[in-house]
Chains A and B, each alone.
With several copies, the nearest count.
Chain A
Amino acid sequence: MIDEKKALWIYKTMKEIREFEETAWTLFTENKLRGSVHLYTGQEAVAAAICSQLTDEDYITSTHRGHGHCIAKGARLDFALAELMGKATGYCKGRSGSMHIADFNKGNLGANAIVGGGLPIATGAALAQKMQKKNHVTVCFFGDGASNQGTFHESINLASVWKLPVIYVCENNEFGMTVPVSQSTSVRNISDRAKGYGIPGETVDGNDVEAVFDAFARAKERALRGDGPTLIECKTYRWRGHWTGDPETYRDREVTEEWREKRDPISLFRTCLKARNLVSDAALDAVDTAVAEEMRKAVEFAESSPEPDAAHVMDDVFYEG
């Protein structure tokens, strides 16, 4: 159940993600940001509701659309933005940019620019947790498109056979790049694939914080009980194009508008909090202000940060002890 403290945390996290993504968008249009940038705007409820139930000892793996997961798993906006701008002060020293961002110290095993690439890695992290008899879980985020990669199949089968404490979270945002799910995927609900692995599968409204929260709570409990993985499908939608340069010729603007207006996860959550009388409007407004300020500082920090020194470009290929 979401209590006041969690509610505030989730709200703040969603706000941070939203501010971060929309700022990244602006910076991109201003040519201050480059490379392949995939924005998470519209999907905030998933990362926030799930990561609100994780500690630094729990792991996640993330995707090319990874800023949201990264922030929800505890990353600071300034270091994250610096990374997107390729600065020396970024989480990965300017080497990863948007597509491979990670704060390893917070249990984020990384964004992954290979679609489906993170699933085996998450599975292995959960294997370690189980072998170490730790009371922690790993969450594996991936998209609808990734659910058609071989690694999806191999990983979930392995985790099921070994009863690993891993939760596979598919964010079905209706498209893999420009391809609609119906053109790429042989089931209506990706959670139906759970049946092929003898594990529970559940489809929830990914824009409904509470629905995601509850489904994940069940899955986490199961994982900690030692009963193995769960597949959760969160149906959602990305507001922006697939990447910052996407002409979006493959989908209807009206549909996108409708998602923005009627199904904004942040507005929906505010309404829900109000209905439950859990957090005051004033408190939420205070969050808005604080996050805006945090973001402003992050931009300042990232813009004024130095470029990495090319003399160190060969560092860190290997750990030298």
Chain B
Amino acid sequence: MAVISYAQAIRKVIAEEMRRDERVFLMGEDVEKLGGVFGTSRDLFKEFGTDRIRNTPISESAIVGAGLGAACAGMRPIAELMYWDFAFVCADQIFNQVCKTRYVFGGNAIIPLVIRGQQGTGRGNAATHSQSVESIFMHIPGVKVACPATPADAAGLLRTAIRDDNPVCFFEHKALYITKGEVPDDPEFSIPFGEAVIRREGSDVTIVANLLYVSRALEAADELAKDGISAEVIDPRTLVPFDYETVEESVRKTGRLVVVHEAHQVNGWGAQVITEVGKRAFRYLDAAPIHLGAKSCPLPFNLALEQAVIPSVKDIVDACHAVSYR
């Protein structure tokens, strides 16, 4: 098992899958010579040529729509959005076309399309380059949604995404690219969708978090341990399908639930988890679950302001204290 970065894990799986299946190709802005802004396709054009590592014009609707068309016609495209914020530029192609094609055409279309890109804060990219938009993709049915938090998950989930015969939206986090971890060398290593992972076991409070907030939740758990509160940290890994069972089971044990993500809190996916798990485990709840997410304002440029908008480790710790009444 090699220790590689999250960005390298993604690059590795793209390359392996392209070697394995000539229908797989990558298209997006600056994926060729630049290898993507975060190097996730660095130098791949040298091995695969510019036909399969394909620079596009700055035309996101055409990129995603062409991915859909090519998938319907027998290819297995990976369409890259440089920032997930740009999903709004091509939202019709995602939500009205990709999401609905198979269903409205009576189940006759098979759409092995991956749309991937990065999102989130941490680089002072401001309001239109720092959002976390995955909740919307869970709201509009028709795409699977993956959110890897570690290099191994990035590799394992991306392979599943590429091999899936359905459209998958794959959310990377820009602040995670440089994080490192062990990734199995096996070019068949994959992680099934819909299986949450317990990142840390605990008995007093359940914290559910994704992407960058997995590590923040773990930091919070460390803090809480000092105060004698044992936190269980669950990473759902995919939002569609969502593994409510693992969270429910944990809440039956802890009786307390905090969900935290970088996406905006209002109507964020955490509210859904609280509502669904609240329904399943109501009698086990000792306190009202707490939902943390970005405040209802655009992400500001200034780093301190940006941090003030998204939940801090302290916010998570405080929420866990609150649900624990201590």
Contact = CB atoms under 8 A, between A and B. Distances in A.
A128 B109 CA distance: 15
Interface in A289-321: 307-308, 310, 313-319, 321
B74 interface: yes
A313 B51 contact: no
Interface string B125-140: 1111100000000000
Contacts of A247: 34
Contacts of B125: 35-36, 99, 113
Interface in A18-52: 34-36
Contacts, number: 259
B302 interface: yes
B62 to A, nearest CB: 4
Contact of B29 (A87, A161, A179): A179
B interface bracket (residues with beta carbon within 8 Å of A)? 35 or more
B68 interface: yes
A132 B74 contact: yes
Interface in A66-97: 86-87, 90-97
A206 interface: no
Interface string B220-245: 00000000000000000000000000
A184 interface: yes
B69 A308 contact: no
A185 interface: yes
Interface string A115-130: 1110111111111110
B13 interface: no
B106 A92 contact: yes
Contacts of A113: 125-129
Contact of A307 (B34, B128, B142, B302): B302
Interface stretch (B85-93, B180-188, B211-219): B85-93
A39 B106 CA distance: 22
A124 B71 contact: yes
Interface of B: 25, 29-30, 32-34, 51-52, 55-59, 61-62, 64-75, 77, 85-86, 89, 92-93, 96-97, 100-111, 123-129, 141-142, 144, 165-166, 295-298, 300-305, 308-309
Given A61-B69, A114-B97, A317-B103, 13 more contacts: A36-B124, A95-B104, A97-B301, A100-B128, A109-B72, A113-B126, A116-B89, A120-B62, A120-B68, A126-B69, A145-B58, A161-B57, A177-B30
